[in-house]
Chain A
Amino acid sequence: MNKYIAPLTALLLLAGSAFAFIAAQSWQIADSYSIAFSSDDAGGVFKGFKGAIAFDEQNPAASRFDVTIDAATINTGNGLQNKHAKSDEWFDVAKYPQIHFQSKNITKAANGYQVTGDLTLHGVTKTITFPFTFKKTGAGGLFVASFTVNRNDYKLGKPGKDVGEDIKLDISVPVTK
């Protein structure tokens, strides 16, 4: 009997650990997403949002976000401001064409979920944490997040000046299976 204990334990451990690696549901980003930003003086939207979203409401720990935004798609609603925003004083899109967010940890929170991950912007990577919600809509779902980043942390623009240092991000990402 004892000779079966070790192989059985190994089998149980193997099966148990396999469950831990079950991938969360993969979601496709729908075209109607909205990545909006606003501050005291400037505001606008980004297009060119893409990446991989794996999310399971029941198992947020196994969920992953790895998304990018094409920095050159910034649109402030004014042509001159767009040009200025893309210049080396701000996003320097020629040198840093992508804004990248990669999650490290997703947990359940009181009103939804909370994600911690690395945000790379303007060549600077910082770990940030922000809350988000997920609502199932038929065969798809909707991620909504609203949080603030300090542009000085990413060396965006010069400190002070007209544009506020805290930039509010309002993100709405509909997804399909």
Chain B
Amino acid sequence: MFKKALLLGIVSGLLAGIAGVIYARIYYSANEADFSKVVSTVHIVAASLFGGVLAAIGYTVLDKLLKANGEIVFNFIFTILSFASLLLPIGHRFSPPIDTPELFPGMVIPMHFFPALGWYTLKPLFIKK
């Protein structure tokens, strides 16, 4: 089970990272707000991969502990954590200050949902119950 979940976490994390990089590029050109020095391509892919692998560990643990209810609880926790993580970009303070910090949450917030979206979308392909 863990192997499948880990593979799903890695693939969904990588896809979320790629989606995040594309979104960041679109955001830069649409708003002329370049945060690439603060959030680089490597940062985006690494953070998404981290989210995916963490989800795989959490899924496996909850599946073992709660059996049939494990997936339900996992989905709730994954979604709640994705929402809770929005506080990080909203509260982030750049020091030294950068231009247009108010545009930063707009770029990062959607990315916080990409690992969860990737996981929920790809899960039926990797884990069939």
The CA of A43 and the CA of B94, in the complex, are separated in Å by: 10
A77 to B90, CA, bound (A): 11
| A9 CB, min distance to chain B CBs, angstroms | 60
User: How far in angstroms is the closest Cβ of chain B from A140?
Assistant: 23
**By the criterion CB–CB under 8 Å, are A44 and B102 in contact?**
no
Interface residue? B81 (CB, 8 A) = no
* CB-CB contacts below 8 Å: A45-75 with B: 45, 75
Within the complex, what minimum Cβ distance (angstroms) separates A12 from chain B? 56
Main secondary structure of the interface of B (DSSP, over half): loop
| A83 and B102 contact, CB distance less than 8 A | yes
Say whether B92 faces chain A, with CB atoms less than 8 Å apart: yes
Which residue of A has the minimal Cβ distance to B92? A78
Given A43-B95, A45-B96: A77 and B102 interface contact (C-beta under 8 Å): no
Question: Main SS of the interface on chain A?
Answer: mixed
Closest residue on chain A to residue B100 by CB atoms: A79
- Against A, the Cβ 8 Å flags (1 = close, 0 = not) of B89-113 are 0111111111111111100000000
B96 contact set on A, CB distance < 8 A: 45, 77
Known contacts A75-B99, A78-B94, A79-B105; 13 additional CB pairs below 8 A are A45-B96, A45-B97, A75-B101, A77-B96, A78-B91, A78-B101, A79-B102, A79-B103, A79-B104, A80-B102, A82-B101, A82-B102, A83-B102
